[in-house]
Amino acid sequence: MFDFIKENQSELLTKTIEHLSISLLSLLAAVLIAVPLGIMLTRSKKAAKIVLTLTSVLQTVPSLAILAIMIPIFGIGTLPAVVALFLYVLLPILNNTYLGVKSVDPTAIEAGRAMGMTTSQLLRMVEFPMAIPVIMSGIRLSAVYAISWATLASYIGAGGLGDFIFNGLNLYRPDLIIAGAVIVTLLALIIDFILARVEHWTTPNGLQVTKEDK
């Protein structure tokens, strides 16, 4: 495998960049949509039930089926792959944002109100900071999902490391399969580590102490 990697460094680098682009674009889109939406849903139980049910149903649809559905709408290439992955990684972030904000200690919110904080100030200075560990857990889970499932993007011409894996299956080349799978796994571990550090940096000190005590 190491000989294969050495001989195909340029192509591996290109495919890795494609893979990361698809994964991170879908993840970024999911974060930008799911976090504000999750916060909004905490204000309406009825809307939360409907939206979370719909996104849960999306999770039950096979990923290949979602990719196939995207083709008549967006054609083939990167765009349908990003949209399909976005739909797939939306739920963990949305669900964790909703649960994180809902689980904030009511006494902390009451203390903020007693200090004269407005609703937006409470959200910005109390609810969101205290919900960050739960929200980041959802983002980390979605990041691993995105990198893993991005291998399927190869089926619709989006490139990425899936090209190595599926070409290896078609050509009976274990070196292609192993190289692609190992790099995907390493990418998932690296991204998860980076996001774990981001979680640590963004979590308020008081919550970090509580977490460590547990």
The predicted-structure confidence for 195-208, as pLDDT tens digits, reads as follows 999 988 888 765 55
Q: pLDDT > 70: what percent of the chain?
A: 93
Q: Looking at residues 88-107, what average pLDDT do you find?
A: 91
- Residue 2: the pLDDT is 64
pLDDT band of 50, cuts 50, 70, 90: very high
Q: Distances in Å between the alpha carbon of 88 and those of 42, 81, 143, 203?
A: 22, 11, 11, 26
Residue 181 has pLDDT above 80, yes or no: yes
Contacts of 150 by beta carbon, 8 Å cutoff, 6+ apart: 19, 22, 23, 26, 81, 85, 160, 161, 162, 184
The C-alpha atoms of residue 175 and residue 158 are separated, in whole angstroms, by 22
The C-alpha atoms of residue 151 and residue 23 are separated, in whole angstroms, by 9
Instruction: Catalogue all structural domains in the chain, each as residue range(s) with its CATH number.
Output: 2-207 (1.10.3720.10)
- Higher-scoring residue by pLDDT: 66, 212: 66
Q: Give the tens place of pLDDT for each residue, 29-44.
A: 999 999 999 999 998 8
The chain-wide mean pLDDT, for the chain, equals 87
Give phi and psi for 118, each to the nearest 5. -80, 175
